[in-house]
Structures are given as structure tokens and as C-alpha cells.
Amino acid sequence: MYNADFLLETLEQLLLTDSPSGFCDPIMKQIQNVIKPLGYNMQLTNKGAAIITVPGRSSERVIGLSAHVDTLGAMVRSITSDGNLKFTLVGGPSVPSLDSEYCRVRARDGQEYTGTFLSTSPSVHVYEDSKTKARTPENMIVRLDECVKNAADVKELGIMNGDFIFIEPKTQITASGFVKSRFLDDKASVACLLTLLEWWSREAIIPEFTTKIFISTYEEVGHGSSYIPSDITEMIAVDMGCIGDDLSCTEYDVSICAKDSGGPYDYEMTSELIELAKLAELPFAVDIYPMYGSDVVAALRGGNDIKGALIGPGVHASHGMERTHVSALEATIKLLHSYITKQK
């Protein structure tokens, strides 16, 4: 059986490590440290993605399981004359949800400075439009917690255009089993995959077919799995399940996506996943995601000849203050386990 403590500890560590798209080397080192004692081989691609190979009984087919460890973030676009930072987005966060969030700016020398995302009409006592001004990057700044009065003071700290801004994840795991945090998309799924590896290693479980876990690093900007190992014949993207209008998934379910913005997923794989979820009596939902593209779509657009499916834990309020429940994580782990170990 999978180790629930390992799952939550691993997830928390991942969530507490900053990894916006384009800044994933530190989190990859952390993943390497988790993998090493499990005895699996992990390689990095030139782009910085990880490939962890689990030898199977047969290598006639090679199954890929992918999840992305990169997250949303921001970057310094310019320094204003009064010593604030204008920013550009990395990926597509819900910008109104950034208003008043704490952040850290990382100078290229490694020094980090704290700050806060704010509207340019931040005080209700001063600005008539403080409550109504659209929360867009154009109308927002990062206020640094340093005694800076002008752009020169900010530059003196070593901060310059192009520096990463890390959004505080605000991770909390509640006694009722909820995980509240930014970036559950898609660190929840990465933690599920690492938990599977811990399970297989501990119980010496050998998959039917060689399985390659692919941890991608540029998913949020659209080209995470554009390259995957050429021997992969079918791939399951493990990524957050959507919750909301016209969707049946909840925070307790593993979501099986039949179709997203990239079109329908492989019919046979999707049917098998539904069948396995029923057999194992897992809480699951089958849904169509209206605005979504997964690593399988990136791989297909990258020219890979694969069959692909998409599943993942239901995540509420995606790209904002997200939340899921351990029930969804458990169902995702168990569904992947039965797909990999019961496959004929």
C-alpha cells in the first residue's frame, strides 16, 4: 500500500520550494534526493525535465506518466521611479487573486527580498477606485520591504529586470484532510508519482511494462513535454482535475478527462481508466475541460507518436488559492497503480 505520510510530507516539501517555469533546478535537486534512496535511475534532459525509469517485465511497450513541477510566477519587468516593481506574469495566474499577496524577489546573486503585490490604488482612504480598479499587471506593482525611495535604491540591492518573483504558496494541511496551497497544479500530481515510486520500491513491485516517469518543467508556458523519450508508446498526463460549472469532479475525486482544448484523449486508454476506477471503487469523475491543455497535448504537438490520457486529483479554484483533499490524491495514486500493474 502507498505511504500516506510520505505523500503529504513530499507534497509539502514540493509546495514550499519555489519553482516557477524557468527556475526549476533547485526543485529537481530536491526530487533527485527523494528518488536516490528508492533505487531508481533519474536523468535530466537538456531542458531540465526529469526521466525516472522503472524497468518492467516487458519493454515491448513503454508507458509514460507525466506531471509538471513548474508553477506560475512573475518576473520583474521594470523598476519605477518611486522604487516599486512592475511585473510580468509567468504562466497564467488569476491576477485578482495576487492582490495583497506576499512574495519574494530573487536577485541574480541569490539574495531574496520580501514584498507584496498591490494595486496602484492600494489605500481605501486615498483612492476612489481602490475597490474597483481592475487587477491587471498594468494596474499593479510589487512593494518591496526595503528602505528604497527610487529606482537607484532598488538597483543598489542587486534587483534588476528579469529577476524572478516567487508568489507565497501559503501551504496548509488541515486536520480534516484538505491541502490548501497555491501550485497544487501540478505539485499534487508530482507528489502522487513520487509516492507511487516509494510504494513500488518498498514492495519490490515490477510493472508489466517499463514505465518512465516524466517530470516536466515548462508546462505552464506551453511546451512542458514537447520532448519525451522516443520509446514511450502511451502516456498518461497526471495533472489537476477541473472543478466548477458543468463539471462533475469534486475535491475528493480523481478526474478522468475525456476531452480538453486539445481535443479527445485516446478512447481505449480513457475507457480502461474508467473501468479500473469502477473496479477499484475509487471516487472518480469523467469530465470535459473547457480551457485546458495537458502535457499529452504538448507531446502530441511536439510530434510524438503516442496514445495519451489525462487524469488527476480534483483541484478547486485553480491558478488562484487552490485546494484539494487527500481522498483525491489517494484515488489518483490507486488508479495509476492499477493501470500500471494490472495491464495485460
**Dist CA 281 CA 331 (whole Å):** 9
Give the shortest CB-343-to-Zn ion separation in angstroms: 25
C-beta of 87 vs 289, nearer to Zn ion:
289
DSSP one-letter code for 171: -
**Dist CA 68 CA 201 (whole Å):** 22
Cis amide leading into 70 (omega within 30): no
Subset of residues 186 to 225 that bind Zn ion, contact rule: CB under 5 A: 186
C-beta of 163 vs 185, nearer to Zn ion:
185
Subset of residues 231 to 250 that bind Zn ion, contact rule: CB under 5 A: 239
Give the active site residue among 198, 219, 322, 330. Answer: 219
C-beta of 115 vs 313, nearer to Zn ion:
313
Find, among 312, 329, 324, the residue nearest to 178 by Cα. 324
Give the shortest CB-189-to-Zn ion separation in angstroms: 8
C-beta of 70 vs 163, nearer to Zn ion:
70
DSSP one-letter code for 279: H
DSSP string, 101-164: -EEEEE-TTS-EEEEEEEESS--TTT-TTTTTS--SGGGEEEEESS---SHHHHHHTT--TT-E
The grid cell for 198 is: 516509494
Give the shortest CB-70-to-Zn ion separation in angstroms: 9
**Dist CA 302 CA 297 (whole Å):** 8
**Dist CA 343 CA 30 (whole Å):** 31
**Residue 219 annotated among the catalytic residues of the structure:** yes
Give the shortest CB-168-to-Zn ion separation in angstroms: 19
C-beta of 41 vs 261, nearer to Zn ion:
261
57 touches 207 (CB < 8 A) = yes
| Residue 194 half-sphere exposure toward CB, CA atoms < 13 A | 31
When asked if residue 266 is in the footprint of Zn ion (CB under 5 A), the reply is no
- Binding track over 172-191 against Zn ion, x by CB under 5 A: -------------xx-----
Q: Which residues are catalytic?
A: 219
Q: Interface residues with Zn ion (CB under 5 A)? A: 185-186, 239
